[in-house]
Structure 1
C-alpha cells in the first residue's frame, strides 16, 4: 500500500482540501494550480457512490469540475480538450525528390519527460518480447526486419511477398521483435503496412493484442477518426481491455479529455479488470490539462485497490516538480521507497531536472553523482541522461569529460545527447564534429538523427547550414517527415522569413499527406500574434483545428494576443471558447477584456 504525505505547507493554507482515508494519507494540491479561482476551497470526500465537490467564492468564470462515480470519471464543465496561400519557392527541392508517402511515421507525443508515448506502446502491445530486445545489448536486426527497413515507400507488402516466396518462414516471435524494432524507430507507417500484410496474407492469426497494435498504428499514422472507424471491423470477441486502453492512450496523446473520460468510464461499465495503465493515462492527461483532478484519480485508485506503478510515481514527482513544490516532490520519492520501489536513473534524472529549475544546484549535483555511481559498470546507460543535466548546470567541463569517455566507442544515443548538449552550450563546431562522426560511423541514419542537428542550427539561426543539411538528408534516402518540417519552420522563422516558413509547411503537408506537429503551427501563430497579424493568426488557428488539434487555452491565448497587439476588437471570442467548453483563467480573462468590443469606459459612459 502507499501514502502521499503532506506537501510543503499546511493544507488549510493552500486553499485546497482533500479528505481521504489513512491508506493514501493527505493529498494536497498547491493553490497555484487553481490560479483562475479566487478564494478557492474544495472538499472531496470518498463515499461508496461518488466524490462530491463543494465550491465557494468562485470567480466569474466557473472552473472545471470532475464527477467520479463508482464507474469512473466525467468532466462536468470547463475542461480543456483537446483558401491556402500559394506556395512560395522555398529552396527545398528535395521535398519533390524524396520517396513519396501518404502516411505519417511519427507520433505527436509531448516533449514532457514523463509522457513517453513509446512506453505506452511497449507496455500494452508487445509484451515480453520487448524486454528481450531492450535487455539485449548485442541485438541485431533479423532478415525480416531488414526486408521491411529497406522496402521503399509503400512497397512493404510486395517486398514481404517476395521474401516469403523465397522460402522464408515467419514465427510469432520474429513478428513481435520486428514490430517492436519498427516502433522503437518510429517507423509507424511501415509497421502498419506490415500489420496489414500479416492479416491479408494469412501469415498470422490475430488475437486481441494484434488488433490493438493495428488500432494504435492507425491512430498514429492516419488519425483518431480512422482508428475509431477501425474498431467496428474488430470482431466483437476481441473488444477487450487491451483494445480499449489502446484507444484511451491515443486520446490522451491527443489531449482529448472528453473522449478519454468516455473510454475510461466505458471500461469501468464493462467491468474490465482495470490495470494501473489506465489510471496512469488519466494522470498524464490531467497533468497536462487540469492538475487539480489528479487527486481525484488517486482517490479512485485507492477505492478500487489499484496499486501505483513506478510510472505513477514518476508522474506525481514531475507534477510536484513542475509546481516547484520541492518538499512535496521529495515526499513522493519517500513514499515510493516505502512502497518497495527504489528510484532508477530515469526517476533520478527527473528529480535532478526539477532541482536545477528550482535553484537547488547542490542537490542536483548529488543526484548526478548518484546516477554515475549506480551505473558505474554500464556507464553508457547513464551518459545520455547525464549530458543534458550537466548542460543545465552549465558544467561544460563535465560535458567534455563524459563525451571523451564515449568517443573511443561511441553509441548513437550518446552521440545524439552530446550534439544536443554542445548545441545548448552554443558550441556549434563541436556539435558538427560529433555529427560527422555519426555520419561516418553509422550507415543508416533516421530522421530523428538529422533532426537533432537541424535543431542545433535552428537555435543558432543558421538557415543556410540548415538547408544544406536537409539536402544531405534527402540524398541519403532519409524520409522528410513532420519533425524535419518543424525544424525547417523554426529555421525560417528565426531567420525572419515567416512567409517561407508558412508556405513550406503547407507544401510539405499537401505533398506528403502527413499532419504537421502542434509546435510547428504554434511557432507560426506565435509570430503572427506578436506582429498583431490577426488574419494569419486566425488562419493558423483554423488549420490546427482542421488537422485534429482540439483548441486549448494556450491556443486561444495566442490568438487573443494577436487581437490585443493589433488593437482590434475580437467579436464573439468568449462564445467561441464556450463552444469548445473552455473557460479562461485570470490572465486570459484580462486579455479578453482588452479586446471586448462592448466594454464600457469612462468616456463611453459619458458619451452615452
Structure 2
C-alpha cells in the first residue's frame, strides 16, 4: 500500500487505482481501510456514480465508519449537499459520525457552498460533543470568520489555540491569517504573522517557503520575498521548477522586472526539465512593461524547447494577442492568431469572442474579413 499512498500523494489517482486493482488480483487481502481508499480513488477516476455502486455492493461487514466516511468525503468534494447531509444523518444513527474527519468534511462542504455560518455552528457542536478539534477544524473556523470579515473573531480563535495547548497554531494557520490580513490591506499584521509562520514551519519541506513567499508578495514586501527565496535555495540541494514558478510570480506581482529576469536566467542555466509555465510568467511580465522585443525573443527560444518535449505555446501566443488588441494594433493581433492556426492551436471560445467584439467595436471591415477567414479555419461560426 506504500506505493498507492505515494501515487495518491502526487495526485496520480488513475495509476493508484490500477495498482490497487492489480494487488487484489494477485492475492492481496482487501481490508476495510483499502475499501475506503479504493472508494475514494474510484470517485476521483470514474466519478461519483461508480463510487456509489462500489459502496452499495460492499459486504455489510465492510460498511463501517471508514467506508461511510470515504463516500461522505466524495459527496462533499462534489458539493452534493443533499446526499452528503442524508448520509451524515445515517452515519449519526449508526454512531459513525464521531470522528473529527467526518465533521471537517462537512465543514469543508459548507465553505464550498458559501455557508460560513454553518461552519461556525458545526464547530460549536464538535466542542459540545467532545470531538478532538484539530488544526483542520480550526483552520476552517478561521476561514469562515475571515469570509465574514470578522477580524475580532479570527484573532480570538488564534489566541484560543495559543492558550488551549492541545493544538497550537502552525505555519498553515498563520498563513491563513496572513491571507486574511492581506485581503483587508492590513500588511503590517500580515508581515508579523508571516514571521510566526516561518518560526513554526517544517524547514525540510519546500511548500511552506513557497506559500510564505507568495504571501509576502501579496503584502508588497519585496525584501522578505528575496530573503525567503535565499533561505529556500540554501536549505535544499536544488530549487525545483515549482519553487522557481512561485518566486517568479512573486517578483512579477511586485514589479521587480530586473529581479525576475535574473531569477529566470538562473533557472534557464540549471533546469532539468523545461516548464513552459515559467516562461509564460516572464513573457507576461515583459509585455506588461512594454518589453515586446524581450518577450518575443523568449517566446522564440521556448518554441525550440517545446519542440523537444510536451506542452505548447498557446497561452503565450494569447498573451501577445491580448497585448496588441489592447493597443488596437489589429495587424499584429491577427499575425499571432495566424501563428496559432499554423500550429494547429485553437484559442478558447472566450478569446475568440473577445476578438470578434473588438472588431465590431472599432468597425474594422478589413480586420473583420480577415478574422472571419481565420474562424473558418478554426471550424467556428
Tell me the TM-score normalised to structure 2 length: 0.71
Answer 1 or 2: which has greater helix percent: 2
1 CA distance for matches of 2:207 and 2:180? 21
1 CA distance for matches of 2:202 and 2:128? 42
Q: Is the 8 A contact 1:219 1:227 kept in 2?
A: yes
- Counterpart of 2:246? 417
The superposition leaves residues 497-520 of structure 1 with CA deviations (integer Å, 9 ceiling, x where unpaired) of: 9xx8xx99xx99xxxxxxxxxxx9
CA RMSD of aligned residues (A): 4.1
Aligned mate of 1:402, from 204, 218, 228: 228
Going from structure 1 to structure 2, the CA distance change for 1:342 and 1:247 (only over 3 Å counts) comes to same
Aligned mate of 1:212, from 36, 41, 44: 36
> Per-residue deviation at 1:432?
6.6
Aligned mate of 1:321, from 146, 157, 170: 146
Gaps of 5+ in 2: 289-294, 326-332, 358-381
> Per-residue deviation at 1:299?
4.2
Q: When the two structures are aligned, how many residues end up with a matched partner?
A: 330
Going from structure 1 to structure 2, the CA distance change for 1:345 and 1:243 (only over 3 Å counts) comes to same
- Counterpart of 1:239? 63
Aligned mate of 1:356, from 149, 159, 182: 182
Aligned mate of 1:199, from 19, 24, 28: 24
Aligned mate of 1:277, from 96, 101, 115: 101
Aligned mate of 2:134, from 295, 309, 321: 309
- Counterpart of 1:372? 198
1 CA distance for matches of 2:204 and 2:5? 24
Q: Is the 8 A contact 1:458 1:466 kept in 2?
A: no
> Per-residue deviation at 1:229?
2.4
Q: Is the 8 A contact 1:336 1:342 kept in 2?
A: yes
2 CA distance for matches of 1:349 and 1:339? 20
- Counterpart of 1:187? 12
1 CA distance for matches of 2:300 and 2:257? 16
> Per-residue deviation at 1:279?
0.9
The superposition leaves residues 268-324 of structure 1 with CA deviations (integer Å, 9 ceiling, x where unpaired) of: 132215211111111111123122322332343245332321111111112222322
Q: Is the 8 A contact 2:181 2:189 kept in 1?
A: yes
Going from structure 1 to structure 2, the CA distance change for 1:309 and 1:427 (only over 3 Å counts) comes to same
1 CA distance for matches of 2:47 and 2:287? 33
Alignment of 1:102-501 (within 5 A): 175-176=1-2, 178-202=3-27, 204-289=28-113, 290-340=115-165, 341-374=167-200, 382-407=208-233, 409-412=237-240, 413-427=242-256, 431=260, 434=263, 441=270, 443=272, 450-451=276-277, 454=280, 457=283, 472=305, 475-476=308-309, 494=322
> Per-residue deviation at 1:362?
1.7
Going from structure 1 to structure 2, the CA distance change for 1:338 and 1:221 (only over 3 Å counts) comes to same
2 CA distance for matches of 1:247 and 1:469? 44
> Per-residue deviation at 1:353?
1.6
> Per-residue deviation at 1:342?
1.6
The superposition leaves residues 120-144 of structure 1 with CA deviations (integer Å, 9 ceiling, x where unpaired) of: xxxxxxxxxxxxxxxxxxxxxxxxx
Going from structure 1 to structure 2, the CA distance change for 1:314 and 1:375 (only over 3 Å counts) comes to closer
The superposition leaves residues 76-135 of structure 1 with CA deviations (integer Å, 9 ceiling, x where unpaired) of: xxxxxxxxxxxxxxxxxxxxxxxxxxxxxxxxxxxxxxxxxxxxxxxxxxxxxxxxxxxx
The superposition leaves residues 438-483 of structure 1 with CA deviations (integer Å, 9 ceiling, x where unpaired) of: 57656467xxx654654665687799767985884674357x9xxx
Q: Is the 8 A contact 1:346 1:385 kept in 2?
A: no
2 CA distance for matches of 1:471 and 1:239? 55
2 CA distance for matches of 1:266 and 1:489? 53
The superposition leaves residues 16-63 of structure 1 with CA deviations (integer Å, 9 ceiling, x where unpaired) of: xxxxxxxxxxxxxxxxxxxxxxxxxxxxxxxxxxxxxxxxxxxxxxxx
Gaps of 5+ in 1: 1-174, 509-519, 532-608
Going from structure 1 to structure 2, the CA distance change for 1:358 and 1:434 (only over 3 Å counts) comes to same
SS at match of 1:364: helix
1 CA distance for matches of 2:43 and 2:317? 25
2 CA distance for matches of 1:342 and 1:357? 24
> Per-residue deviation at 1:187?
1.6
SS at match of 1:221: helix
Going from structure 1 to structure 2, the CA distance change for 1:214 and 1:261 (only over 3 Å counts) comes to same
Q: Is the 8 A contact 2:120 2:144 kept in 1?
A: no
Higher relative contact order (CA closer than 8 Å, sequence separation 6+)? 1
